[in-house]
Each structure stands twice: as C-alpha cells, then as structure tokens.
Amino acid sequence: MILNKINKTISKNILKISKIKTKPINRELHSFYVTIIFGFLLIGIFSVLPIIKNYTSKMIFNAKLIDNTSKIDFEKTLSGKEIEKNKEGDGLALRNLFDDVFEFESTPSDAVRLNAVLIEQLFKDTGYNLKKVRKSKIVKPVSLSLLPAEIKNIRNTKKKKELFIQIVLPLILEENNLIKLDRKKLFVILNKNNNSKREIKWLNNKFKQYGVVKKDLSTLKIRMDIVPVSLAIAQAAKETGWGTSRFAIEGNALFGQWTWSEEGIKPSAASNDSSHKVMRFKILKASVRAYQRNLNTHPSYREFRRIRAEQRDREEKLNSLELVKFLDKYAATGKEYTEVIKKIIEQNSLTDFDDAYLLPKSKKIKNLI
C-alpha cells in the first residue's frame, strides 16, 4: 500500500515536471529528487526490519522456557561466582507452594505411635546413637512418623533432648537430601544447551513448588537450597519444648507454623478474638517439608536466603550461627528469638550434625547424593 502511494506520487510529479518547459539542468534535478525519495524509503524499511524481527521472535519463541546461557551459568555456580549478583526475583506465587506437603494428607497412613521405651530399644538395636553420629557423621535411616506421647514424662533433660534429636535428625536429613538431588539436577540442566520436554516439565514443576514467578532461574537457584541441620533442630526444639508440646504430639507440628484455616490447633493461651491456629500435619515429615518450604520462599526470609547464597558463592560451609540472625521475623520476639536459637545450637553442640549424612537405603541414591 505505502509503496503504491509513493509510486503514484512520484508518477504525478514526473508528469508535472515533463509539462514544464525547462532547461536541461531541470531533468537532472528530477533524477536527484527521485533518488532522495527512494533513498529515504530504503532507510525506513531497513530501520523497521530489526523491530519486526524482534517482535516476531518474541511471538514465536515465547513458549521457550529459558534463554540457555546455561553452560556459563553452570560454570559460574561451580566456581562460586554470582549469577545476577544473587538477586532474588520479586513476587511469590502461592497457588502450588505446598502441594507436595498436602499430598501427605491425602495418602493413607499406617503410622503407629510407638512409645518412648520401644523407640529407645529400636535405636539401640540398630546401633543408632548420637555419640556415634558425632564421631562418624553417619545417621541410620530410622524414620518415625509420630512423636512418642511419653516424651513429656521423661524427667532426665539430657535423655529427653537426645531422644528428640534422634527422631527429628533423619527427617531433616531426608528432606535436605531431596533438595540436594533437585539442586544437582538443576545444575545439570543449566549445563545443557537444549532442554528435553521432561526437563522442561520438571523445571515448570519446581518453579511452582518454590513459588517462582516469571520462570526466573536465579530465583529458583537461591530458593532451592537446604536449611542447615543444626538450625532446623534448634528451631524444632524451641517451638516444641524438645517435643513435649501439645502441637507436636497431637498435630505433628515441629515448627509452630500458623494457619488461619479451620484445620489447625487453637493455642490455649490465645485470646478469644484471635483467629490463628497452629498448623496440623498428618506425619512429622510433612511438618519438616512445610518448614523448609516456608524458609525457602516467604518474603520475610529473603535476607536469610541472600546470605545463604553468598556463603555458597564463597564455597563456604553453611553457617547456621550466622544465618540465624536473619530469622528475627520468625517469632514476635524478633532478635531475642534468634539469640535463643543461637544458644540452643551452641549449648547442645548441634553444629556437629551439619555435616552428618543419612545412610542411603540404596546404592543408587548413595551415588546421586
């Protein structure tokens, strides 16, 4: 259309010029004007082409999951360098955040609440004790679904603490292992130039699981990481009174997470107009997963995740005594709460368990971790 109009305009001008009696020099001017018009036309076309190309590319390749500069990013990660300066993307997609936690609620459970005496005997028969763990760093895969109700009756504080740690330690390590496996898979994907349909599906699932908006890989990398074992044990100990609280025994709630839904346990000390409850879980494992997902996604713990990522970049061991400083929003007491957690870690030498590992149930899993 534009070209036709221009051609008609040019033709009209040529007819006008041809009717005028001029000297030979006017013919030369005519050619000059025509050349200028076509020159501007060509410049305009070539100026618009990159914009059209860019727009077309976006429309055609919009479904592509990532612009895979992955090999460079992977090498940066392994060498301890930053990807986008460890900047976590804004926003949190809540819709699918706890789907894998709620799955425990819908699955049939054959969990049996063993009493404290039977549990202690089980640990003894399997050779699982904390003294050995501190020395060998090996934890037997003894997984319990429920706390013993009798734990609150154990008067010996040291014995009660040890039993509680023995119960929650394998659960924390198991969840950390799942995150480690996911993290390893993420780095493998980053190292590839092209992603398979299965890998894209897996990534999409993880973006949902960690509430990542805009499919931002840097944000996923920062959020998909473990919580140091010592920190998790200390917070569980504080929130449950070393496993003796009503929330822990009745609702398998190890970390005192709140809910405003009907499903939950109402705190006895809560005022009548208070609407919050403590989340109830079917088994202890669900509570651990919900806790880790909370620290790994909630905006209140963004600084915690940033410092953790920086420790990773410096190729350091995750330092729970440093990271705990950034959990002041976990409880209403703020900084006082973090000081209490720090004391629990130090007084009970919980950092001894940070480099412990769960004895794999199969050689295949052992090779992956």
Kindly indicate the confidence band of residue 79, based on its pLDDT and cuts at 50, 70 and 90: very low
The strand pairing partners of 138, in sequence order, are 357
Q: What share of the chain is helix, strand, coil (3-state, %, to 5)?
A: 65, 0, 35
Mean pLDDT confidence for 184-196: 90
CB 89 within 8 A of CB 217: no
Residue, of 103 and 251, whose pLDDT is higher: 251
Structure tokens at 149: 């109700």
CB 111 within 8 A of CB 146: yes
Any idea where the domains of the chain sit in the sequence? Answer: 2-61, 70-368
pLDDT (0 to 100) of residue 38: 57
CB 254 within 8 A of CB 162: no
Q: Is the pLDDT of residue 257 over 70?
A: yes
pLDDT (0 to 100) of residue 89: 80
Q: Is the pLDDT of residue 27 over 60?
A: no
Closest CA to 212 of 89, 317, 106: 89
Residue, of 150 and 364, whose pLDDT is higher: 150
Q: How far apart are CA 251 and CA 277, in angstroms?
A: 11
Amino acid sitting at position 229: V
Q: What is the CA radius of gyration of the chain?
A: 32
209, burial (CB in 10 Å: exposed 0-12, middle 13-18, buried 19+): buried
Q: How far apart are CA 159 and CA 243, in angstroms?
A: 12
User: How does the average pLDDT of the chain come out, rounded?
Assistant: 79
Report which listed range, 33-37, 231-235, 258-262, is most confident.
Answer: 231-235
Q: Is the pLDDT of residue 14 over 60?
A: no
pLDDT (0 to 100) of residue 124: 94
Cβ atoms within 10 Å, residue 69: 13
Sorted by sequence, the CB contacts under 8 Å of residue 197 that are 6+ apart come out as none
Please give the DSSP secondary-structure letter assigned to residue 265: B
Q: How far apart are CA 181 and CA 273, in angstroms?
A: 44
What digits encode the pLDDT tens for the residues 230-244? Answer: 999 999 999 999 999
Sorted by sequence, the CB contacts under 8 Å of residue 179 that are 6+ apart come out as 224, 225, 226, 292
CB 218 within 8 A of CB 84: yes
Residue, of 192 and 270, whose pLDDT is higher: 192
Q: Is the pLDDT of residue 262 over 70?
A: no
CB 353 within 8 A of CB 232: no
Fold designation for 70-368: Lysozyme (1.10.530)
Report which listed range, 58-62, 94-98, 274-278, 311-315, is most confident.
Answer: 311-315
Q: How far apart are CA 129 and CA 162, in angstroms?
A: 9
pTM of the predicted model as reported, rounded to 2 decimal places: 0.73
How do beta strands 357-358 and 138-139 pair? parallel
Sorted by sequence, the CB contacts under 8 Å of residue 342 that are 6+ apart come out as 321, 324
Structure tokens at 210: 């960690």
pLDDT (0 to 100) of residue 118: 95
Kindly indicate the confidence band of residue 8, based on its pLDDT and cuts at 50, 70 and 90: very low
Kindly indicate the confidence band of residue 260, based on its pLDDT and cuts at 50, 70 and 90: very low
